[in-house]
Structure formats: structure tokens, C-alpha cells
Amino acid sequence: MFPAAEGVAPAVTAVFTTVLTEGPISRVALARRLGLSSAAVTKAARPLIEAGYLEELAATERTGPGAGRPASPLAIRADREFFVGVKITGDELIGVVCDLRAQVRASAHRRLDAADVDHVLTQLGELVGDLLDGPGDYRARTRWLGLAVSGDVDHSTGLVRYSPFLRWHDVALAERAEKTTGLTVTVENDVKALTTAEQWFGEGVGADSFALVTVGAGIGCGLVVNGRIVSGAHGVAGEIGHISFDVNGPDCHCGSRGCVEAVAGADAIVSQARAVSGRPSLTFSDAVSLARSGDAAVGAVFARAGTAIGAGIAAVANLVGPARIVVSGEGLSAYDLFEPHIRASFQRQAFGAAAECPLSIRPLPFEEWARGAAAVSIKALVAS
Amino acid sequence: MFPAAEGVAPAVTAVFTTVLTEGPISRVALARRLGLSSAAVTKAARPLIEAGYLEELAATERTGPGAGRPASPLAIRADREFFVGVKITGDELIGVVCDLRAQVRASAHRRLDAADVDHVLTQLGELVGDLLDGPGDYRARTRWLGLAVSGDVDHSTGLVRYSPFLRWHDVALAERAEKTTGLTVTVENDVKALTTAEQWFGEGVGADSFALVTVGAGIGCGLVVNGRIVSGAHGVAGEIGHISFDVNGPDCHCGSRGCVEAVAGADAIVSQARAVSGRPSLTFSDAVSLARSGDAAVGAVFARAGTAIGAGIAAVANLVGPARIVVSGEGLSAYDLFEPHIRASFQRQAFGAAAECPLSIRPLPFEEWARGAAAVSIKALVAS
DNA sequence: AATCAATACTTGACGAAGGAAATTATTGAG
DNA sequence: CTCAATAATTTCCTTCGTCAAGTATTGATT
């Protein structure tokens, strides 16, 4: 399988991971970066090159003084292997094929008529078939399938303990999906999957700690601290949506009041917008249009939501002090309406140097969720 | 120095750390616990025993089936080495001598007339002399001094970057204290030091993650996630005191409003108690007495403070999901006034399973800060 | 052009660390 | 008094990574 599979040589994994995340890099630079001797890097790189996972690039133009043998950087051979990632929602499957660098090569989706496990698996099997047997001829070079599900997921066993949106309890999803597809399956919580993608292939690269905040139906948060994802001892972590920033705020379905989600969740925004506009059938995109066309009352709803999100982000910054924070999600398709209020609120409530934490605020293509699932399976390959 | 000093054998450190924190434990149990072969544990334990750090206890009564050779558990020889820990505040030095198990063997303190570095160092030298040359004859078996300071501290270099209470900027404290005392000095932020003590020798033992909340002049929080202390990329972490739980709450000195500290800090409690009681010179202990004797208005001040602390703790639980939370600090000498409100507020705002996180609420002897400093130096010994 | 310094990489001998399996130690049960 | 069970140790071996020496490839200097 993977060159380091049996007898796991730490250096092999370290070298591969570093080349994967920090791009073409010479052996000497790797040695410095990893605290290894250059001899160790040479030895670790060889099986990876022989197995086709790495390749040597032509010497690049020199930097520094000018004398000396030029480096021949190691790079990932992105098309050595492909990975399928699928995000499972209550009414849809979104699937992608990614290469080793987590670049999306193909995508497809399927509507779900029901969320029962059998139906989902049937559709999943067909979706994977469409992706792998369609143009691109990925089938032969694909062994892994990553699934992303919202809710409480045990990544190590592939068990979905409880997923409220899907109404699943204790579903052995990895096992069943392996039977259906013949691929090796990883299952992960959707926010954690997205966080993994960001950690290895996005803005989290090189950062020892960072936070990813997702804004959509719910407000979630994936956390990386000391280079590792935070899971929560009781299965709860990153519940930024249920931090209360206003003791007198509106009731939240969780039983508390003034939660971020009760003000900034998609449902909350729609119902507030309906109330202030007097239009009971208004949708989220109607609200966005109204706000953009200058409706002050609806604009204030978005402002209030942005302020709440900023408060939640400030709490993250004050508590764990991530190196950077990415704010993303479907809700941020209207990010122009949120952004200034998120930033202002964050600056107001971040304590001292925490206010220096860079925020990236950007919308999130829905495919990203599926890409996150694929990223988890890439990580699983490396660990295998 | 330490048996594993040169050529750092990971197993030696792992064995020592585990015996230190998880008490007398047999080699076989250690092997299971650490994922090592029993042969490796035998080899790692030998130099530790020879150096006098560990000893073999007599076989204990058996558990389980009943047949087989009884285990001879390994235990720390607590009096093998002693450690001085000193907490430096703006007007006092509190010092202790601890043994290897971080048990306090002696303590002393000194008032400070000024907080300038020279004066502090002079007093520190005398305090250390008093502790080591007094009864107990610790001098010969003491090589380490741990210092705990509030503010921004670079533990790796022993530099105090900025300490607001002491008004210190960029003081090379470790270096200077080593010259003064002749001991090897570690410097750490006071809350982190206390957290270390709790992680290795207190309620954090065995927990992969936990939080320590200190209630006093300020409200602080030390966090351990995935077994490691959280430091914050920008030097800020655990600032639970500046999480806002009420957008319309009172102004805080940090520039925001409704911060936990602005309601539950010692100063905030005193000034609120003065306002409601109409006694402008009332002290913190006066407020405690009034509340305990049934003064409803002053009682409400404490209730409000407890509610604020509970909100902050709920934010920690929702975000990082620690295995347990310890609430402690000078302010909790009046913990009977806080406790029910902390718990009620926590339960209300903790999301889902986060509410299952056990809270330990207890007062904190002031010496504990100094013990924390000593614990950091014990950790430094092990890492050396 | 020949040489040299500088840097990148490779090779092979060595040593440290930990594992596997056999061996010794010590107990309780039959 | 033997046997089964568990704990600890010993011996031998593999693996991993370092060290130091050597090869490769460049620009600069003579």
C-alpha cells in the first residue's frame, strides 16, 4: 500500500506530509524543517519516489549567495492516486473526485428522496460509480472514499453515533459503505472534515493553531490547537453557535438565550427578516436582495447577525488564541452584508493581542464540504 | 543530570512521567499504559532506579484471578530532589519548597516595598536562602527554582515580556534569577503554572483535556487540550474574563462591555456591593459577611458574578469540550456564595453533552500559586 | 580552462532504542 | 509438589536515524 504502511517509519510519513502541505521543497529544506539529518530525508524519500507518490522537479533558479549545487525539490505526483469525497445532507449527496493534492477533478450530486440508510447507500453507490467510471478514468487509481456527515461521528470506527439532520442513530456507515462501493471508507463530522482540508491544503497550512467558522443553517467551528484537531471529551467541541453573547437575547432551541445561532443562523435571519419586512413568505435570498437594495430594517438584521458572529469569534480568539481564523459557509454567499459587522464586533471584543488575529471571511462553494471529506481520506492514506 | 539527559530516551521520560503522575504502578501496567513492551519498561526503569528517582515497592496484595507472581510497583522517591517555587505578585513573594511529588515541604513569604526588578531579585535571593537553609536541609538536594508571574511570559527563554501588575517590560528574569540564586530557573505565567500543577499532580491527571478557571482580581483560565497546554499564537489564551456574555452589560477596562471580569472580578464585586449597600468603604470580606448574613442586595451581587462565571465556563465547555473543569482562586474563599449560581448558569448554557462536564469548585490556598511554579520546574527536570 | 568554494545530495558504518521470544521469579490452586 | 498464571528480565535482532566521508553540480576566481 503506502510505502510506510508496515513498520511505519516516522520519517517517511513526516516527509510525505510536509511535501504534501508545503509544496515542492528540497531535501535539505525538509531536513531543516523536520529536524532530521539530510541523510534521513534522502532515505525516507526514496521509497516514496519509487512508489510514484513523489517526484523530483528540475532544479529551480537559485536564491541566496549563488554558488553550490542547485536543489532538486520534491513534489507530489498529484495524479498518482485519486480520492472520492461525499458530503451527505438530508436531501442531497454532493460528491467530488480529488487528486492527491486535494484538487477537485470531477464533481456530481444526487438528490435524496429519503434519508434512510439503505436509500442513501444505494444513491451513494451510484454516485461513486458516476464519478469513477465517467470521463477521467479514475476507477483504477482510486481506493479511498471519504464521507462527511453532520453530527456526532466516531472517526476511528466509522460509526455515526447521532446525526440530527439525517435522524440516524448508531449507523456503522464506514462498514456499510465499504460493502457498497468496494472502497476503503473514512467517515468524519462535516465541520471537522472541512477543518482538515483547510489545515492540510488551505489557509491552515503552516499554522500550529487555527479556527474555521462555518456560517449557514447552523454556526459551527472547527478548531486546530497545537497542530491537532480538537474533539471534545464529551463529543462536544466548536459549538460557537451556542455561545451566548446576550443574556437577554432571543430564546434558542438549545434551551439557552442569546446564542449566536439564535440571531445569526439562517432560520433566525429569515424569521427576523420576515418580521421586520412584514412579508411572511420571504426567503433567505429575498432578505439578501432587500438588504442589498437598501432596506434598512432588513440590513439591520444582517448587521445584528454579523455582530453576533463577531462576538463568537472573539470568544474563540480570547480562549484559544488561534494563529488565524477563517469564516466561511453557505450563509456567507451574502458575505458583503456580514463582513464589516463581523470585523467590527470582533475588534471590539477581542482582548489585547487577540485582536491581531487575521480573519479571512469568504464564501464557501458547497463542493468544499465534499472536498473536506476527500481530504480526510488523504490523511487516512498517509496514516495507513 | 537526569538519567535521560543526553540522547534523550523517550521511554525513560515516558516511564518517569507516568510513575510521577499515576502513582505507584507496576512495569507491566506501565507497558500497557504506554504501548511499550515490558522489556522496554524494564530497561527504562533501571537507570531511574539507579539514579535514585524511582524505587520498587514491596509486592502489594493481588487483584484479579489470584495466581502469578505479584507485581512490584514502581514509585517516585519523593525526597530524591527538591524544588523551590515562588509566585511573584506586585507586593509580595510567596515561596515554597516541594518534593518530587510536588508536595509542599516548607513555605515562606516576603513583602515587597517596590516592584522594581532589582529589589525583587534581592528579596528573592533572601527568600530562597531562608527556604533552603532553614530546617529541613534542602539546599544540597535542590537545583531548580520555578517562578510564576502574571502577564506575558516566554517560558522557553525565561523572559517576562510584559507584566502589567509588576510594570515589567522585557525582563530576562530566568537569567538574572540564576545569577542571584545559583539555581536553574524556569519562568512561567502564573495561570499556566497552576494549570501544569493541576495537570500533573491534581485533578487533571489522566485527563487528555481540562480547564482550570481562576477567580480573583481577574478571571483567568488555563487550558489543556490533547494533553498540551494552550498558549495562543499571539500570546493570548484563556482570557475567559474578557468573554462578553451581555452586550448591554457594564463597561470593562478592556474596552468591551459585559465581560465576565467586569461583573465577577474582585474589584467589580466590591464596587457593586458598595453601590447596593451604600457603604463606600466596604471591602471584599465585608461584602462576603453581608451576603452570608442575609443581605439580599449584596447576595444578588455574588449571584450575578456566579452567573457570569458560569457563562464563561459554558463557553469553554462548548468550544473546547474539556474532560473536566476546575474552578478555583482567591475569590472562591467565598465559594459558597458563588457555587450554586456558577452551576446553574453553566447547566443552562452548556450545549448538549457539554453539560455533563464535571465541575470542581473549590477555594485555592494562596500557596498553590507557588506550588504551581515548583511544578513547572519539576516538568523542566523531566524534560532536561 | 582549471581550480575552488559553496551547497545539495548519497552512501555506508555505526549506535541507540525498542520488540520478540525464551528464561527466570514468584505466587495460588489442585 | 506440580502446574498454571502473572511479573520481570535477558538475549538477540530489527529498525531507524546519525555521523562522517564522499559525490554532484553550480558560480566565482584565477
DSSP per residue, A319-384: HH--SEEEEESGGGGGHHHHHHHHHHHHHHHS-GGGGGS-EEE----THHHHHHHHHHHHHHHHH-
**Cα gap A195→A204, rounded to integer Å:** 8
Query: Closest to B351 (Cβ–Cβ): which among A209, A242, A353?
Result: A242
| Domain identity same for A59 and A119 | no
| Domain identity same for A178 and A211 | no
Around Cβ A207, how many Cβ atoms within 10 Å? 16
Identify whether A4 is part of a domain.
no
Cell digits of residue B178: 540564576
Q: Which of B76, B106, B128 is the last residue of a domain?
A: B76
| Domain identity same for B148 and B36 | no
CATH number of the domain encompassing residue A59: 1.10.10.10
Can you say whether the dihedral through the CA atoms of B379, B381, A14, A204 is positive or negative? Answer: positive
- Residue-level length of chain B: 384
Residue B188: which domain range?
A: 81-196+368-383
**Cα gap A195→A187, rounded to integer Å:** 14
**Cα gap B75→B53, rounded to integer Å:** 9
Distance from CA of B233 to the nearest CA of A (A): 5
Specify the DSSP class assigned to residue B153: E
CATH number of the domain encompassing residue A100: 3.30.420.40
Query: Which of A213, A215, A235, A233 has its CA nearest to residue A224?
Result: A213
Q: Given the DSSP bridges, would you call strands B54-56 and A359-361 parallel, antiparallel or unpaired?
A: unpaired
Q: How many domains does chain B have?
A: 3
Query: Which of A305, A298, A252, A304 has its CA nearest to residue A274?
Result: A298
Cell digits of residue B378: 519539576
* Cα–Cα separations (whole angstroms), residue B338 to A94, A381, B72, B291: 50, 50, 46, 11
3-state secondary structure of B331: helix
Burial class (CB in 10 A: 0-12, 13-18, 19+), B118: exposed
| Domain identity same for A356 and A232 | yes
Side chain identity at residue A41, one-letter code: V
pLDDT, tens only, B160-175 = 999 988 999 999 999 9
pLDDT, tens only, B77-109 = 999 999 999 999 999 999 999 999 999 999 999
Residue ranges of A 243-302 with Cβ closer than 8 A to chain B: 243-249, 254-256
Identify whether B316 is part of a domain.
yes
Kindly determine whether residue A255 and residue B348, on different chains, have CB atoms separated by under 8 Å. Answer: yes
| Domain identity same for A360 and A372 | no
| Domain identity same for A236 and A348 | yes
Q: Is B311:B260 a contact under the CB 8 Å cutoff?
A: yes
Greatest alpha-carbon pair distance for chain B in Å reads 73
Alpha-helix runs per DSSP H in chain B? 10-22, 27-34, 38-50, 117-133, 173-181, 190-201, 261-264, 266-277, 284-292, 296-320, 335-349, 367-383
| Domain identity same for A223 and A335 | yes
For chain C, which bases have at least one atom within 7 A of a protein Cβ? 5-12, 16-21, 25-29
Q: Which of A76, A92, A113 is the last residue of a domain?
A: A76
Query: Closest to B321 (Cβ–Cβ): which among A226, A237, A353?
Result: A237
| Domain identity same for A228 and A159 | no
| Domain identity same for A226 and A303 | yes
| Domain identity same for B234 and B283 | yes
Q: Indicate which of A150, A213, A223, A234 best probes the interface with B, i.e. most B CBs within 10 Å of its own CB.
A: A234
Q: Å between B79 CA and C21 C1'?
A: 38
Identify whether B2 is part of a domain.
no
Within an 8 Å CB–CB cutoff, is residue B45 touching chain A? no
Query: Closest to B320 (Cβ–Cβ): which among A232, A235, A317?
Result: A232
Identify whether B49 is part of a domain.
yes
Q: Which of B60, B76, B92 is the last residue of a domain?
A: B76
pLDDT (tens place) for every residue of chain B, 384 residues total: 566 554 447 899 999 999 999 979 999 999 999 999 999 999 999 999 999 999 999 766 666 666 778 888 999 999 999 999 999 999 999 999 999 999 999 999 999 998 899 999 999 999 999 999 988 889 999 999 999 999 999 999 999 999 988 999 999 999 999 999 999 999 999 999 999 999 999 999 999 999 999 999 899 999 999 999 999 999 889 999 999 999 899 999 988 999 999 999 999 999 999 999 999 999 999 999 999 999 999 999 999 999 999 999 999 999 999 999 999 988 888 888 999 999 999 999 999 999 999 999 999 888 999 999 999 999 999 988
Q: Å between B235 CA and C7 C1'?
A: 37
